[in-house]
Amino acid sequence: MRAEQRTGGLAQHAVWGLIRSAQAEHPGLFTLTDEDGTEESRRALAAALATGEPQIALRGGCCHVPSLLPERPDQAIVPRPARGPGGWTT
């Protein structure tokens, strides 16, 4: 994590945990937003909130969201049945 991406101290992390708990109990009601303080990010805030994503980070006016998808589709790991008895493999 780069220095400009670090989020506050212990108190801020506790608030983030509280908001995430509230999001789990009331989906769609809260949005957890982190912005870098630049003018570009402040101008992009309304559009970022309109996406409906539950957690966003604004860096230099660009909206970033947590995702479990690969950056590039050709890097996707597709689960497939394992040979013989057992579970799934990647």
State residue 10's pLDDT score. 81
State residue 45's pLDDT score. 92
State residue 43's pLDDT score. 92
State residue 22's pLDDT score. 93
Digit-coded pLDDT (tens) for 59-85: 999 998 887 766 666 655 565 555 555
Digit-coded pLDDT (tens) for 2-48: 445 555 678 888 888 999 999 999 998 999 998 888 999 999 999 99
CATH assignment of 3-67, among 3.40.190.10, 3.40.50.11460, 1.10.3720.10, 2.40.30.10 = 3.40.50.11460
Tokens of 42: 């402040």
Q: What is the largest CA-CA distance in the chain?
A: 57
pTM of this prediction?
0.62
| H helix intervals, the chain | 10-25, 39-50
Nearest to 90, CA basis, from 70, 61, 67: 70
Tokens of 71: 């950056």
